[in-house]
Amino acid sequence: MLRYSLLSAGRNIWILICFFIGIAMVLTSCSTVLNDITGQPEIFQSQDYIVYRAGKNENSTTVAQKVLGDAGKAWLIEDNNPAGSIKRGQAVVIPLKEENIGGLYEDGIQIVPILCYHRFGKTCKSNLCISERTFAKQLEYLKNNGYHTIHLSDLMEFLNYKTAIPSKSVIITLDDGYRSNYKFAYPLLKRYGYTATLFIYTDFVEASRNALTWNQLRELKAAGFEIGSHSISHADLTQKLPNENDQAFWSRITQELINSKKLIDRELKQNTQFFAYPYGNYNQQILGLFPKIGYKLGLTIRTGGNSFFANPLTLKRSQILEENMAYFVDRIQIIQPISLR
């Protein structure tokens, strides 16, 4: 951990060194070096970095594809270069290693906010509904401020200390399975190049014109969205029904967890690994079932972000219940201040 902290702390200094080495080499008319793998022009290369001269109409995505062979690594370039678009002739620092696996910085620890939405509409009266206009403003804020939406599967790798993620990572989740997710949220997310995770309770799917259909869920999955379970009936998993004994209660709760997964697995041809607790409620007995059933992540509605050492079965998640931007911005903090010096 200390190694990654030191690497992170020195990252900006190293970037500046690479940048000025590159500029110095250009000014002294040193010959351009071609990368052995890509054949693209470099100014400088070490084991850890390439300083690359951007060509016409290039951006972080095209450069990541050319140099790293993976357009999805554009965030590595964005995290290690000054904010703004890449210009022709610009010296671009390209890390060859994901050096900050735990998200450890000299002045704090990276936390990943998970946002929870329910319904959308042209206008809204309930605090569980966010207007189309407000959601567009929120996504625009994320895009303009360099945020990346990641998948819960990416977060799982981060929690297992296997991979780095963008420094401004956020996860968007949509609960219950309302058709407004498809009508309003989906087009806006596509417009901004973002995805989300839907948590559905299976009794609601195709139950009314306000609910998503299985075909719509298949389309969303094909577009890069993840689908998780929100139980069968959206019942509070910690509360007995009237006159229900312990054995009947435990049997019902077990079936809520198992059968919702089985149905989603069958309909979407996947292995469902993520579960959002109805009303955010859980207990130790429920957590004990997760490994047996196959759930890897459990999401609450306790406000806050998640560091790499967060408990994967009790992840924090902030509900978006108001439309003002200050409320929204307060819930997408990405650093928990703490000195690692």
Length of the chain: 341
Residues 41-66 pLDDT 10s? 567 888 888 899 888 888 888 888 98
| Domain 105-337 part of CATH 3.20.20.370 | yes
- Residues 64-85 have a mean pLDDT of 83
pLDDT above 70 for 22:
no
- Return the pLDDT at 102: 87
CA dihedral 36, 41, 45, 50 (to 10 degrees): -110
Residue whose token pair is 């567009």: 136
Give dist(CA 32, CA 41) in Å, integer. Answer: 6
Please work out, in degrees rounded to the nearest 5, the angle formed at the alpha carbon of residue 156 by the alpha carbons of 319 and 138: 35
Q: 101 near 161, Cβ under 8 Å?
A: yes
DSSP, res 122: S
Give dist(CA 147, CA 156) in Å, integer. Answer: 19
- Return the pLDDT at 235: 97
Residues 210-267 pLDDT 10s? 999 999 999 999 999 999 999 999 999 999 999 999 999 999 999 999 999 999 999 9
- Return the pLDDT at 3: 37
Give dist(CA 250, CA 240) in Å, integer. Answer: 9
- Return the pLDDT at 310: 97
- Positive/negative CA dihedral, 264, 266, 267, 268: positive
CA distances from 115 to 139, 264, 307, 331 (A): 12, 22, 15, 8
Q: Quick one: which of 95, 228, 80 has its CA closest to 152?
A: 228
Residue whose token pair is 């070490």: 46
- Residues 316-321 have a mean pLDDT of 98
pLDDT grade, residue 101 (50/70/90)? confident
Residues 263-283 pLDDT 10s? 999 999 999 999 999 999 999
- Return the pLDDT at 138: 98
pLDDT grade, residue 20 (50/70/90)? very low
Q: 72 near 166, Cβ under 8 Å?
A: no
- Return the pLDDT at 341: 66
pLDDT above 90 for 110:
yes
Where in the chain are the domains?
2-95, 105-337
What percentage of the chain has pLDDT greater than the value 70?
86
Residues with Cβ within 8 Å of residue 190, at least 6 apart in sequence: 223
DSSP, res 294: T
Q: Is 134 helix (H, G, I), strand (E, B) or coil?
A: helix
Residue whose token pair is 């250009």: 26
CA atoms within 13 A on the CB side of 312: 19
Give dist(CA 304, CA 299) in Å, integer. Answer: 12
pLDDT grade, residue 18 (50/70/90)? very low
- Residues 121-128 have a mean pLDDT of 95
Q: 274 near 297, Cβ under 8 Å?
A: yes
- Report DSSP letters for 54-99, one per residue: --TT--HHHHIIIIIS-GGGHHHHHHTS-SS---TT-EEEEESS--
Residues 198-223 pLDDT 10s? 999 999 999 999 999 999 999 999 99
pLDDT grade, residue 292 (50/70/90)? very high
Residues 130-189 pLDDT 10s? 999 999 999 999 999 999 999 999 999 999 999 899 999 999 999 999 999 999 999 999
pLDDT above 70 for 32:
no
Give dist(CA 32, CA 116) in Å, integer. Answer: 49
